[in-house]
Structure 1
Amino acid sequence: MKPTDNFKKRKKEFDYCEKIIQRHSKSFYAAFSQLPKKKAQSIYAIYAFCRMADDIVDEKKDAEQLQELFQQLAAFEAGNVPNEPTWLALEVVFKEFPMDIRPFYDMLVGQRMDLNFQQPQTWQELSEYAYYVAGSVGLMLLPVLSDKTDQIIPHAKRLGEAMQLTNILRDIGEDLYIGRIYLPQKEMQRYNVTMEDLKKQKVTQNFIELWESIAKYAEKLYQKSLNMMPYIKKDARQPLLSAIIIYAELLPEIRRNQYDVFNKRQAVSTRKKLELIRTIEGNVEN
């Protein structure tokens, strides 16, 4: 059976994955739904796998279920595909594209780090964590988006790290509520931001300077990640650029809202996303 026929055969499973990304990541869906259908479906399946792990850790906080997911991944690698929609869709993706299984394991390692959470002490520890939970996802997506993956692995890692740092800066209040602080301790000390300051939900000048130090580093990573565009397949350049621009827009959005990451979850509006997508339509170099 041709690979394309496999996508049709597993339409129900891919539809299941699409609903997951639609519900949980409107930004990624707005960007990657622009891809040709089977590439878009492949991204949805990869996202659904990541979401499965996220839910086990963030909602259920279940170490046993996470270990079961490790075991399912090992079974999948061995050719024993679990009879569940996400795995059945991923089987098609692995047949269609030259996928690498290692980033899938790495992402689960990152989820285990969240389950056994310890606040990072240094930038290096934060960067390592960001690779495992997000840089790994960039590597998962590469074979769908590029024929020259070996040449752009560092760029994909940078993009994943930038997006994770953006998540961290957006979710400071939410993470604090569940007992997680991803801001490195040494950076908090450097900018004289205490745990008590965070618990009081004070947007002080010191807090803004700490936040900006991380945000500006993330913005540099976004810029560096653009160096991979010439190596991305032509039909994937605009969707990937859309994802980068929409996600990066969260940082100026938070600035426009006076850095209030404690009282509401900041988001880029649907209208703004569409505006950003329109700005790059026709301007992506072929």
Structure 2
Amino acid sequence: MLPDQYCQHKAAGSGSSFYGSFRFLPPVRRKAITALYAFCREVDDIVDDRSLDTESARRKLAGWRREIADMYAGHPDHLITQALMPHLQAFSIEESQLGAIVDGMEMDLDRKRYASFGELEKYCWHVAGVVGILAAKIFGVTQADTLEYAEKLGLAFQLTNIIRDVGEDIGMGRIYLPQDELERFGVTEDDLFKRRYTGAFRKLMQFQAARAQGLYEEAFSLLPEADREAQKPGVMMATIYRELLGEIERCDFPVLTERVSLTKSRKLWLAWKTWLNG
């Protein structure tokens, strides 16, 4: 299998809302973002692999750090880094930024609780904010504010994921909802692990959703007019993710026991509509 084919297979197989947005890009940018996304999926899959113990997962992440270094030295070994290397200079993809993503994945091995939103925000920066910045570079950036927009949008995406995946994360012993906010709303860890859907839980999730919605609005307010056309793929992703968040809200946050999703046709329709209308 060729490097680009491997990345395409990895990205398409994830079922993510993001991959559909890539189809609207010119070929070179599409190959670059697909390789970046495949890299993110590959390292994320390591920490989510229940067949690996913590130390085995840590060794695999260390191997990816070496692979990143080898790629920047000009001799990548993995198909993903072979696909990504031709785009490093063209899109200003920095070694430290890819390393920061791996650092974020490793945080999932080291901690399963976050005392406050401030702590959670640092984690989100590693696993989503940096990714947003790199994606924006690939889409096309002429204004510095566009990178700030992309970072904020990445945070909004990650908070949407956290809301959607509460039950799934509990199954892995992880609670990303800030501990001080659980306490403020009167929700205990026992409530979460026993999947108790209470009025307190509903109010907690309404608070989380309102924060995410506010971040989408804040991100869009930062996007300069000069880069709006180039950043359409990111806006398409945001349209799909906001629709997902809205669907979770309309369903009254059943996230303890089910994973709310949008159909493929609905996501494609939202992406196409956004591409046409901006």
TM-score higher than 0.5: yes
Equivalent of residue 21 in structure 2, options 10, 31, 50: 31
Q: Which residue of 1 aligns with 2:218?
A: 224
Percent sequence identity over aligned pairs: 33
> C-alpha offsets along residues 144-166 of structure 1, whole Å, 9 cap, x if unaligned?
11232633222111111111111
Deviation above 3 Å: which 4+ runs of structure 1? none
Residue 173 of structure 2: aligned partner: 179
Task: Map 1:187-202; keep pairs closer than 5 Å.
Answer: 187-202=181-196
Shift, 1:132, TM fit: 0.9
Contact 1:97/1:143 (8 A) holds in 2: yes
1:99 Cα shift?
A: 2.2
1:3 is matched with: none
Query: What residue number does 1:249 align with?
Result: 243
Q: Deviations over 1:70-105 (max 9, x none)?
A: 12212222x143222101111111143222222211
**What is the identity, as a one-letter code, of the residue corresponding to 2:183?**
Q
How has the CA–CA distance of structure 1 residues 243 and 170 changed in structure 2, closer, same or farther, with 3 Å as cutoff? same
- Amino acid paired to 1:274: L
After TM superposition, the structure 1 = structure 2 runs for residues 1-286 of structure 1, keeping only pairs within 5 Å, are: 12-59=2-49, 60=52, 61=54, 62-77=57-72, 79-148=73-142, 150-226=144-220, 227-228=222-223, 230-232=225-227, 234=229, 236-284=230-278
Q: Give the superposition deviation at 1:22.
A: 0.7
Structure 1 residue matching 2:37: 3-state secondary structure: helix
Once residues 237 and 177 of structure 2 are traced to their aligned partners in structure 1, the CA distance between those partners, rounded to angstroms, is: 24
Aligned pair in 2 of structure 1 residues 140, 198: CA closer, same or farther (>3 Å)? same
Identify unmatched segments of 5+ residues in structure 2: none
Deviations 1:200-230 (Å, cap 9, x if unpaired)? 2122111111111111111111122223252
- Kept in 1, the 8 Å contact 2:113–2:178? The answer is yes
Change over 3 Å in CA distance of 1:253–1:71 after alignment to 2: same
1: CA distance between counterparts of 2:158 and 2:259?
Answer: 15
**1:99/1:189 Cα in 2 relative to 1: closer, same or farther (>3 Å)?**
same
1:239-262 Cα shifts (integer Å, max 9, x gaps): 221111101222111123231112
Paired with 2:119 and 2:270, the residues of 1 have a C-alpha distance of 33
What amino acid maps onto 2:191 in structure 1?
D
In the TM superposition, what is the alpha-carbon distance from 1:231 to its structure 2 partner?
4.2
CA distance in 2, matches of 1:132, 1:231: 27
Q: 1:98 to 1:149 in 2, by over 3 A?
A: farther
Task: Give the drift of 1:280.
Answer: 2.4
Aligned AA (1:71): R
Q: Is the contact made by 1:119 and 1:181 (CA closer than 8 Å) also made in structure 2?
A: yes
The alignment yields a C-alpha RMSD, in angstroms, of: 1.8
TM-score of the aligned structures, taking structure 1 as reference length: 0.89
SS in 2 for 1:249: helix
Stretch moving more, 122-131 or 144-153: 144-153
CA distance in 1, matches of 2:101, 2:172: 21
Pick which of 180-189 and 258-267 moved more.
258-267
Note if contact 1:219-1:248 (Cα within 8 Å) is conserved in structure 2: yes
Question: CA distance change for structure 1 residues 100 and 228 in 2, over 3 Å: closer, same or farther?
Answer: farther
